[in-house]
Structure 1
């Protein structure tokens, strides 16, 4: 299937002229979302915390429409059924399957799993997997930079009766990464690289993760090579920083080059049905 060419990250950072038809369209769309759209609890969360925030993703994963009045709930259902959010939920299911398979493979080899998620958001995919594992064989540390995500993850861990260390931490800080003890043999990076535009930061991150990962060990990370609503999102929705949510799409080949240069090998990729999001496993031998 031929895809329509998408604007580049650099093009999306430039504002449209006020007279441009797209500027009128996206301006009207934004106004509708901030007025009638805010009857939807999901859209309210997006404008409060950012549509790429951990709080937003936790709401999307739960997939239970809510809002003020029947109209608000109907809008919320449409919002949650957008192709991007459906892809996110599929990515979450793929991630849980891959994570569980890695933990079970370690158990079969009589290896205890030491899990580190460097940016867990609300922590749902980790905690739902940990709930079905024999926790005697798993030590888990879940981190996130934002305190509201840490609190959400702690609440969910308590609800699911899962034991894990859940703490605030910077995924890109050598000092914070060095504090992880014992060193992980399984690292998860989900939904983090996709929301950051700085290629050099991501390239260096693979080197940081390789350094702290035990040998042998496994890295699970996510990719986003495509998004059909790329321009609408950039022109209409705010990110967790409060600025426009402008995504830099990266082909798997590029992120694979960075990971290989850091030392990783044996890559396996699973994509959602829309080919928007993917889950990648890579090994440190």
Structure 2
């Protein structure tokens, strides 16, 4: 279903329900239970400490190994990891790795470079590098600790010599212009849901075309999510604020891409239909 077609709209999610309403009481109870669970569940603890949209939480969801204090803590963690959103995280990791492999295979460069400036732990990209020895990667993120973890993971996979890491903001025009070596493929996962400004994302595609001129872009977009209100009213983001994510129809992002000169080559969805993973190619490329 298209974004905001059912359930609360984005504007609804940004507003708090009336304090005396049953919805407010219900989510207050859910927040209290979730906070209490964080005393035992490693996943909830990481989510509230680092953000449920952070690299450390994504890494925990990817591993999919329930952990925590006591049997009860591990049971709470198992329930968290079985939520449709966390299942979708793992699905799109696999789909993103497939899309990156396809992008590398379709690159005309002898030693293709893949850049991800909002990389997080970047397991999809690191595993793709392990499978394609000629490829290299440039990783960036605003979280220094996440970059350290990604570099360590690259070394463990034996691809550290083909990975460079630097602290960077994916929307920073200066960072895009300074990318070196120049990437043939740009990867952006999880970026468009946590940034709410449509104009910023539209401009970002134009910046990618002008400043990077990559032949291919791999991205994902959250199009619908039955848990979107729970996430907004119970979870916290990396800034310690309410975790309000914006749903967008994939057609909206494809429109921004088309204006920048890119067209879709493949579109894939997770098993719950929460996300779309898209590989774009540049017109004429």
CA contact (8 A) 2:119 2:139 kept: yes
Aligned to 1:170: 169
Provide the C-alpha distance between the structure 1 equivalents of 2:264 and 2:38, rounded to a whole number of angstroms: 45
Q: Give CA-to-partner distance per residue, 1:165-204, whole Å, 9 cap, x none.
A: 0111111111111111232111101111111111111111
Provide the C-alpha distance between the structure 2 equivalents of 1:271 and 1:193, rounded to a whole number of angstroms: 16
Aligned to 1:140: 137
Aligned to 2:185: 186
- Per-residue deviation, 1:91: 0.6
Match status 1:237 vs 2:235: yes
Map 1:105-120 onto structure 2 (within 5 A): 105-106=106-107, 111-120=110-119
CA contact (8 A) 1:116 1:140 kept: yes
Indicate which of 270, 274, 277 corresponds to 1:276.
Answer: 274
- Per-residue deviation, 1:4: 7.6
CA contact (8 A) 2:177 2:212 kept: no
Structure 2, unaligned runs of 5 or more: none
Q: CA RMSD in A?
A: 1.8
Aligned to 1:126: 125
SS at match of 1:35: helix
- Per-residue deviation, 1:148: 1.8
Map 1:9-158 onto structure 2 (within 5 A): 9-106=10-107, 111-134=110-133, 137-158=134-155
Provide the C-alpha distance between the structure 1 equivalents of 2:211 and 2:136, rounded to a whole number of angstroms: 16
CA contact (8 A) 2:188 2:220 kept: yes
CA contact (8 A) 1:186 1:213 kept: no
Q: How many aligned positions are there?
A: 280
- Per-residue deviation, 1:105: 3.2
Q: Give CA-to-partner distance per residue, 1:204-228, whole Å, 9 cap, x none.
A: 111111123446x111111111011
Tell me the TM-score normalized by structure 2: 0.93
Indicate which of 247, 250, 253 corresponds to 1:252.
Answer: 250
Aligned to 2:262: 264
Q: Give CA-to-partner distance per residue, 1:74-102, whole Å, 9 cap, x none.
A: 11011001111101110110111111122
Runs (4 or more) in structure 1 with deviation over 3 Å come to 1-4, 212-215
Distance verdict in 2 for CA 1:124–1:277, change over 3 Å: same
Provide the C-alpha distance between the structure 2 equivalents of 1:230 and 1:267, rounded to a whole number of angstroms: 28
Distance verdict in 2 for CA 1:184–1:4, change over 3 Å: closer
Tell me the TM-score normalized by structure 1: 0.93
- Per-residue deviation, 1:111: 3.0
- Per-residue deviation, 1:110: 6.2
